[in-house]
Amino acid sequence: MLNKKTVDDIQLKGKKVLVRCDFNVPMKDGVITDENRIVAALPTIKKLINDGGQVILCSHMGKPKNGPEEKFSLAPVAKRLSEHLGKEVVFANDDTVVGENAKAAVAAMNDGDVVLLQNTRFRKEETKNGEELSKELASLCEVYVNDAFGAAHRAHCSTVGVTQFVDTAVVGYLMEKEINFLGNAVDNPVRPFVAILGGSKVSDKINVINNLLNKVDTLIIGGGMAYTFMKAQGYEIGKSLLEEDKIEYAKEMMAKAEEKGVKLLLPVDNMVSKEFNNDAPFRACEGNLEADEMALDIGPKTQAMYAEALADAKTVVWNGPMGVFEMSNFAKGTVAIAEALASLKDATTIIGGGDSAAAVNQLGFGDKMSHISTGGGASLEFLEGKELPGVVAVNDK
Ligand code: ADP
Ligand code: MG
């Protein structure tokens, strides 16, 4: 369904291939704390190695604001990649990304060799899609592969600019898989199609709600964003998260759901506390909250109602936790949804969103889902119905 050329459509033997990966992994004190994105990049890299390509990898990591900084170096990624691939990954450590080390390493490559460039955001023009860095990146290669789904919603040198200066630009397996999963779900879902939206803010997901209401049979809302909706329904929500200026929007979306015949489900009970604290007393509360209480998770009745709404689902897209899952007392709603998805037979279950993916993995349900997207922002933009510039930029089939 993706009408873009992929690594399967081109000759790779003996070619210098620049691959934009998403190695933007979380790090703490120089140690990678979650290497999902590295693992997800392996199928494309292995394919290129096996086909005799000369594989030059690049990626951004974090948001270095003051130019090159050790803590944003991709050196730890090079090390883990070598271990995963069982072969040397030469780390071309240039603050200028395409500097003397990179040029020398690339010139010395044999078929099947792998080089990793330094963090592309060490160059300021990367995020401005500047021509100079785009040309320098292109000068290293004969073929360009974009496999960085997590960065595909950004028009940067390494995702878009570079494609103007290479003849052959294709997508990798991860990009293909992400787009096929999300694209099939949104445009061609096996029904019933249920979307679950949660997380902290309505404003982050306005366009997602609006777009998904055109597509789904049922829309389930939980998490912090649910309380702006409950307020719109006329409930007292105490100190719960509220976006005052989105109450009207919430009303519009409820009306839109009605008009489209979409079942829109909102919490009927919540776990509430007077403090944002896992050690404070908390209770299940139906309907109105006291003025000094805040809702930090969906309650047991809501969990049961949502599980029932999911029971016959054939396609599920889930973005955003149902509560403050980082605190054990308020993780149960998110666990209940994860369990409901894990128990589905013959359903396609897709998790998008950085915190949702972290929650599902952390709670031990990672391998029970059909697909966990590696792209937070990119998956949201996809669900909004937007075209991703990094995908648009590669060659059509
Ligand atoms: P994602 O990254 O999956 O798109 P978001 O970033 O939108 O999700 O939201 C995740 C955050 O929302 C989590 O840190 C979680 O603690 C918070 N959250 C969820 N429910 C609530 C709530 N009821 N009150 C406050 N914060 C909440
Ligand atoms: Mg988030």
The ligand 1 atom at the shortest distance from the C-alpha of residue 296 is: 23
C-alpha 258 – ligand 1 centre gap (Å): 26
Q: Which residue out of 5, 79, 201, 263 is catalytically annotated?
A: 201
Ligand 1 pocket, Cβ-based, cut-off 6 angstroms:
199-200, 204, 223-224, 241, 295-296, 319-321, 323-324, 326, 353-356, 376
224 is catalytic: no
The residue assigned the tokens 């979409």 is 262
Q: What is the mean pLDDT of the chain?
A: 96
Q: Which residue out of 198, 354, 375, 376 is catalytically annotated?
A: 354
The ligand 1 atom at the shortest distance from the C-alpha of residue 297 is: 23
**Type and span of the H or E element at 284:** strand 282-286
**Ligand having the closest approach to the CA of 353:** 1
The ligand 1 atom at the shortest distance from the C-alpha of residue 226 is: 23
Confidence of residue 166 (pLDDT cuts 50, 70, 90): very high
pLDDT in tens, 79-129: 999 999 999 999 999 999 999 999 999 999 999 999 999 999 999 999 999
pLDDT of 222 above 80: yes
Alpha helix (H) ranges present in the chain? Answer: 36-50, 75-85, 100-107, 131-139, 173-187, 206-212, 226-233, 247-260, 300-310, 332-342, 354-362, 376-383, 389-392
SS3 65: coil
pLDDT in tens, 292-320: 999 999 999 999 999 999 999 999 999 99
The residue assigned the tokens 């950004």 is 154
- Give pLDDT, residue 316: 98
377 is catalytic: yes
Contacts of 172 by beta carbon, 8 Å cutoff, 6+ apart: 6, 7, 19, 41, 43, 44, 145, 146, 147
pLDDT in tens, 362-397: 889 999 999 999 998 999 999 999 999 999 999 999
SS3 17: strand
Would you say 145 and 15 are in contact if contact means Cβ atoms under 8 Å apart?
A: no
Q: Quote the percentage of the chain above a pLDDT of 70.
A: 100
Alpha helix (H) ranges present in 236-299? Answer: 247-260
Give the integer Cα–Cα distance in Å for 272 and 278: 11
C-alpha 233 – ligand 1 centre gap (Å): 21
Residue 143 pairs in a beta bridge with 17, 168
Domains, the chain, ordered by start = 7-178 (3.40.50.1260), 189-384 (3.40.50.1260)
Whose CA is closest to atom 25 on ligand 1?
224
pLDDT of 1 above 80: no
Q: Which residue out of 52, 130, 377, 385 is catalytically annotated?
A: 377
Would you say 58 and 21 are in contact if contact means Cβ atoms under 8 Å apart?
A: yes
